Amino acid sequence: MNVAVSRRTAFRASLTGGAALVLGGSGAAALASSDGPESARPGDADGALRLLRQGNRRWRASASHHPNEDAARREELTGGQSPFATILGCSDSRVPPELVFDRGLGDLFTVRSAGQVPDPSVLGSVLYAVEHLETPLLVVLGHESCGAVSAAVEAHETGDVPQGHIGHLVERLLPVVESTPDDGGDFVDACVTANAEDIARRLREDEEIGGFARTGALRVVAARYELGTGAVTFLD
Ligand SMILES: [Zn+2]
């Protein structure tokens, strides 16, 4: 058996409360109660994607339901969490996953870093959700006009890489910028798409996170968000 999967199974077997209880029959019904049938936790990636697409449609239409934000939901979640998707997104204040997918408490496990740079702390956070919370879907969410990607493009074009912590981010974004063809269009925008797709690919190939993708327990998808329209496009 895959090492990562056997660890996950062992963790489930050792659970005496928390997420395991929330995942159980009555817990699942309770989770659904505050938002109608659409809020029942999907058990697979297809169902998770469906909820995200539905939520984004509401967000785009300025018709958000703001599900799972009430006191009852807070109380339901005190015993554990069972989010249906992990979102690896940018820290940009204009792209908060719960808003752009119109979801609430306990729905999304969000990990954010500028440019979605997957350094070791980010990878550990993602792995926690995949392995221990068993989210069936992992979305790498890039976005239009990403400042981190723009900084990497600037460093690529000028050869001037910033120092310090910002430099750390830029250096991790430079390889994808350097490998993205410049066809004369909006190069930053092309790099935004390429970066989301590249990170998704690397996560699928990651020794630990990728183990869940290889067994079919996890689907990793890249996506991008448009600031003006609010639309999320899934790229693969
Ligand atoms: Zn960004």
Task: Compute the distance from residue 71 Cα to the ligand 1 centre, in Å.
Answer: 32
For ligand 1, the distance from its centroid to the CA atom of residue 28, given in whole angstroms, is 34
Separation between Cα atoms, residue 130 and residue 126, nearest integer Å: 6
Q: Are 228 and 220 a contacting pair, CB within 8 Å?
A: no
Structure tokens at 123: 């990878």
What integer pLDDT is reported at residue 79 of this predicted model?
96
pLDDT at res. 166 = 97
The overall average pLDDT reported for the chain is 88
Q: Label residue 236 by pLDDT band (50, 70, 90).
A: confident
Q: CA neighbours within 13 Å on the CB side: how many for 32? A: 14
Q: What spacing in Å lies between the alpha carbon of 32 and ligand 1's midpoint?
A: 32
CA–centroid distance, residue 34 to ligand 1 (Å): 32
Residues measured by CB to lie within 5 Å of ligand 1, the ion: 90, 92, 146
User: Considering only CA atoms, which of 214, 210, 233, 211 is closest in space to residue 222?
Assistant: 233
Rounded distance from Cα 61 to ligand 1 centre (Å): 23
Lowest mean pLDDT among 6-10, 90-94, 128-132: 6-10
Q: What is the mean pLDDT of residues 111-132?
A: 98
Q: In angstroms, what is the span from residue 146 Cα to ligand 1's centroid?
A: 4
Domains defined along the chain, listed by start: 3-234 (3.40.1050.10)
Q: Is the model more confident about 131 or about 38? A: 131
Size of the chain in residues = 236
144 pLDDT above the threshold of 80: yes
Report the pLDDT value the prediction gives residue 40, as an integer from 0 to 100: 80
Ligand 1 centroid, distance to 139 Cα (angstroms): 15
5 CA → ligand 1 middle, Å? 32
Mean pLDDT of 163-171: 97
What is the Å distance from ligand 1's center to 75 Cα? 33
pLDDT tens, residue by residue, 192-222 = 999 999 999 999 999 999 999 999 999 999 9
- As a whole number, mean pLDDT of residues 78-92 equals 98
Q: Is the pLDDT of residue 3 over 60?
A: no
User: Of all residues in the chain, what percent carry a pLDDT higher than 70?
Assistant: 83
**Among the ranges given (22-36, 77-91, 118-132, 133-147), the one the predictor scored with the smallest mean pLDDT:** 22-36
Over its C-alpha atoms, the chain yields an Rg (Å, rounded) of: 18
The alpha helices in the chain, defined as continuous H runs, are 3-14, 19-23, 25-33, 45-60, 71-76, 97-100, 120-127, 147-158, 164-178, 187-205, 209-215
pLDDT more than 90, % of the chain:
82
Say which residue, 2 or 147, is predicted with more confidence. 147
Span 167-182, mean pLDDT?
Answer: 98
CA of 150 to the centre of ligand 1 (A): 9
pTM across the whole model: 0.85
CA quadruple 39, 209, 90, 161: dihedral, nearest 10: 180
Expressed in angstroms and rounded, the spacing between residue 114 Cα and the centre of ligand 1 is: 5
Positive or negative CA dihedral for 19, 23, 29, 32?
positive
Q: What is the pLDDT of residues 5-41, one digit of tens each?
A: 445 544 443 333 333 333 333 333 333 333 444 458 9
